[in-house]
Amino acid sequence: MPSSIMEKFESMAYGPAPEDATEVLRWLDAHNRRFGHFINGNWNAPSSTTFETRNPATGELLATVAQGSATDVGAAVAAAQAALPAWQALTGHQRARYLYAFARQVQKHARKLAVLETLDNGKPIRESRDIDIPLVARHFYYHAGWAQLLGPLDETGFTGEDFRGYTPVGVVGQIIPWNFPLLMFAWKVAPALAAGCTVVIKPAEYTPLTALLMAEIADEIGLPTGVLNVINGKGETGAALASHPGLNKVAFTGSTEVGRLIRKETASSAKKLSLELGGKSPYIVFDDADLDSAVEGLVDGIWFNQGQVCCAGSRLLVQERVAEKLYDKIRARMSVLRVGSPLDKAIDIGAIADRVQYDRIEQYIQTGIQEGATCWQPELPMPERGLFLRPTLLTGVAPASTVAQEEIFGPVLAAMTFRTPAEAVELANNTSYGLAACIWSENINVALDVAAQVKAGVVWVNATNLFDAACGFGGYRESGYGREGGKEGMYEYLQPAWLGGAGQDGEPVALPEPGPGSEFAAPDAAQALRHDLLDAAIDRTVKHYIGGKQVRPDSGYSFPVAGADGRLVGHAPLGNRKDIRNAVEAARGAAAKWARQTAHGRAQVLYYLAENLVQRREEIVRKLAAFVGESQAAVEFDTAVERTFSYAAWTDKFEGSVHNPPMRMVAMAMHEAIGTVAVLAGDEAPLLGLFSLLLPAVAMGNTVVAVPGERAATLIGELYQVFDTSDLPGGVVNLVAGKPMELGKTLAEHDDVDAIWSFRDLSASAMVKAASIGNLKQVWTNEGRAVDWFDPAQGEGRWYLRHATQVKNIWVPYGE
Ligand code: NAI
Ligand code: MG
């Protein structure tokens, strides 16, 4: 440290500039440094079981906090349930005023909140003061706006223009992590309260304090008691909350591992679920990029919040020609990063939130070195105590190595090179995650072309780690599902009124399970002959429809399907795992091309399909009539034709939007296909039910493997001809008949299926949820409730289209 003023003037070195923590320490002391839970507007005395929260920069004990038991969780959920009717009965304007009051209080207490956050988490005050807390306030403002615009709620749902016909999901359990404690609190609480839900939230055990200060603020602004409840505790408390039967929705941010547990835990319930999980986001630098800006971006991309950021640009992919030059610049920049007391206003890198995380990161660095990467760390003055880590650059990282694949969640950048844009895309997508990506290039055409191909929910072009309440955030693939922020984030807390709103959804309508019975035709020659004869008399043998072809079932078995009068109508093929695997392969193979097809092109195919369907009206109606009677058959057929027209119409109209975040940026919210969607259809309206699910998926550019109900399974022969003559590329629609529970399980477990929809009974809903945890595919079910497919308000439209797409926000700066 230079001593004289002259020396200081010469070196321009920073002196210490600590933020004053007195006010916050006084607040902690006023609570005797002990905290209970905030339930029904009361502070419950700390229970006998407690845990400690410490300042990771110094190791000092900040407070002792009650560890929530199942009973505490129960009390909090009961309070939220009791508060729900009155909270929903408020007008949107009244709820907006509470959210506005939150926003104002956050601004008023900004300094206190920032200091408390920094003490508890170890993040630099510069970040908590300039990024976290302003974004928290912005989130409450933005959602005050949605509360206002939702308008009053009546029995038809909200009556405002934008979410007309939707109701609040009800009581919500929320579990948040420690990396952005207050920001994640805002991301969860603001949309829930705006939507008319009540909340029980559990902050992370490393960082419970700012949520408790927010609970105090809730009290101050006179938020009705029970609307917001804060329960403290570790993983067990989180598990008790997620599994509580009184919840209508669970929202989770944290590790993919716990996300899987929660998916499984909630499978047998009708709880809505959103998961915001980990990432291993690529940071792609092309040789024409402004390298100095890219380096500056990296500081925010991987050293921001000590790298404990789910969307951190943790994988640097650099075009080979400029790799060494970029590494030199990165090393030079790393050498002037300042690691130290998080309360110091001139510090870049603070402390790691907890010893467990610290050890994990160190272990990853060692693994990287063992697996052949070159490790470089700058010689920086480091604090003598506390959980401080040096910023770390790993170069020469092999794409398949641990540090290239697993989330390190620390200040560690894993670098590798590529030659062509195609290789960059391949490397970028060579991960099971899909949260975010950064693309640096001065060529906007290349950048946007790559942005379209990267599988990620957020793409920053020549920028990094930008957030705004108006722009949805969330992942593709194993980074989770659901979005936070924006209009799409609001939908996570709403559901169509006709589906049964909060408090009135206790009675799911059970559908019959119409799967094939136990009588199966044996595959031996004699039987086959007998069946062929039988089929000749009644109908021809029905095969699966896979990859644009009629395919015999692998088992060789078929099953008889009876009409309403009990008489045999026809046979359907009995599919097995192998048929499903073939169908998924066909769907997968067709996916990229179909998604790239223009919306106009897809619409043309659907119109043509409707036209060809009409050609076969007579035979299809005749068969349908045997199942549902003549009058339904005719109406059902005509409605299916009309629905096909509707989705042809929607194909080029369900478009994304352009956001204007409060900076010189646009964020283009694109509606992208999910990929390969598996569909388990019911059988109440054999043709219409199946079409109502197939069509939106196909219209939005997905490919489909559908298991029709047993009645529709007898129509595969007719449908094959319709699809075949409609220019629908082979593999876009695949129909495999058989036992829906068995085939559905194979589909739910299949890693090449990106989403699974079940519109059968409750057991099918539960099964697909539980079986989908492998690749965390998106799951959408009717929760065993009947859908009136004849009513367009229930059977078609945006609700379907939203589930058939995922939003990718591409952020593009403008100006120099
Ligand atoms: P975690 O997933 O265990 O913790 C997140 C939250 O979940 C905390 O509130 C915790 O108490 C709660 N929780 C833990 N077990 C639970 C259970 N069985 N049921 C319900 N709630 C439960 O994450 P952890 O252990 O703190 O960090 C491990 C790794 O996870 C990190 O190194 C990082 O890779 C990743 N992570 C990702 C985050 C993100 O923002 N996507 C945030 C935090 C961690
Ligand atoms: Mg702590």
pLDDT tops 50 at residue 153: yes
Q: Which of 258, 261, 263 to mutate to test ligand 1, by most ligand atoms within 8 A of the CB atom?
A: 258
Question: What pLDDT sits at residue 674?
Answer: 97
Whether 238 is in the pocket of ligand 1, judged by its Cβ within 6 Å, is: yes
Question: What pLDDT sits at residue 579?
Answer: 98
Question: What pLDDT sits at residue 56?
Answer: 98
Between the CA of 562 and the centroid of ligand 1 the distance, in Å, is 51
Which positions are catalytic?
Answer: 276, 310
Question: What pLDDT sits at residue 11?
Answer: 78
- Going by alpha carbons, the residue nearest to atom 27 of ligand 1 is 255
Distance CA 731, CA 469 (A): 39
Q: Per-residue pLDDT tens for 50-74?
A: 999 999 999 999 999 999 999 999 9
pLDDT tops 80 at residue 551: yes
**Ligand 1 atom nearest to CA at 234:** 11
Distance CA 624, CA 632 (A): 8
Between the CA of 476 and the centroid of ligand 1 the distance, in Å, is 19
Cβ pair 50, 67 in contact under 8 A: yes
Question: What pLDDT sits at residue 1?
Answer: 54
Question: What pLDDT sits at residue 500?
Answer: 74
Question: What pLDDT sits at residue 430?
Answer: 97
- Sign, CA dihedral 210-214-219-225, equals negative
pLDDT tops 70 at residue 660: yes
pLDDT tops 60 at residue 536: no
Backbone angles phi, psi at 449, to 5 degrees: -65, -45
Of residues 557 and 253, the one with the higher pLDDT is 253
pLDDT band at 700 (very low <50, low <70, confident <90, very high): very high
Distance CA 805, CA 458 (A): 14
Q: Which of 121, 132, 255, 361 to mutate to test ligand 1, by most ligand atoms within 8 A of the CB atom?
A: 255
- Going by alpha carbons, the residue nearest to atom 40 of ligand 1 is 310
Of residues 536 and 522, the one with the higher pLDDT is 536
What is the model's pTM?
0.94
What is the percent of the chain where pLDDT is above 90?
90
Q: Per-residue pLDDT tens for 27-49?
A: 999 999 999 999 999 998 767 79
Distance CA 603, CA 618 (A): 25
**Ligand 1 atom nearest to CA at 202:** 9
- Supply the DSSP symbol for 471: S
Question: What pLDDT sits at residue 518?
Answer: 34
Distance CA 291, CA 281 (A): 19
**Ligand 1 atom nearest to CA at 357:** 32
Q: Per-residue pLDDT tens for 712-767?
A: 999 999 999 999 999 999 999 999 999 999 999 999 999 999 999 999 999 999 99
Distance CA 261, CA 242 (A): 10
Question: What pLDDT sits at residue 13?
Answer: 77
pLDDT band at 427 (very low <50, low <70, confident <90, very high): very high
Between the CA of 234 and the centroid of ligand 1 the distance, in Å, is 10
Between the CA of 206 and the centroid of ligand 2 the distance, in Å, is 4
pLDDT band at 816 (very low <50, low <70, confident <90, very high): low
Q: What kind and span of H or E run contains 525? A: helix 525-538
**CA proximity to 279, closest of 257, 250, 261, 256:** 256
Both tokens of residue 618?
Answer: 């007579």
Q: Is 419 exposed, middle or buried, given 0-12, 13-18 or 19+ CB atoms closer than 10 A?
A: exposed
Question: What pLDDT sits at residue 46?
Answer: 67
Distance CA 167, CA 493 (A): 9
What value does the mean pLDDT of the chain take? Answer: 93
Look up residue 407 and give its amino acid: E
Q: Per-residue pLDDT tens for 602-637?
A: 999 999 999 999 999 999 999 999 999 999 999 999
Q: Per-residue pLDDT tens for 490-532?
A: 999 999 999 874 334 434 433 343 344 433 333 343 344 344 4
Cβ pair 366, 385 in contact under 8 A: no
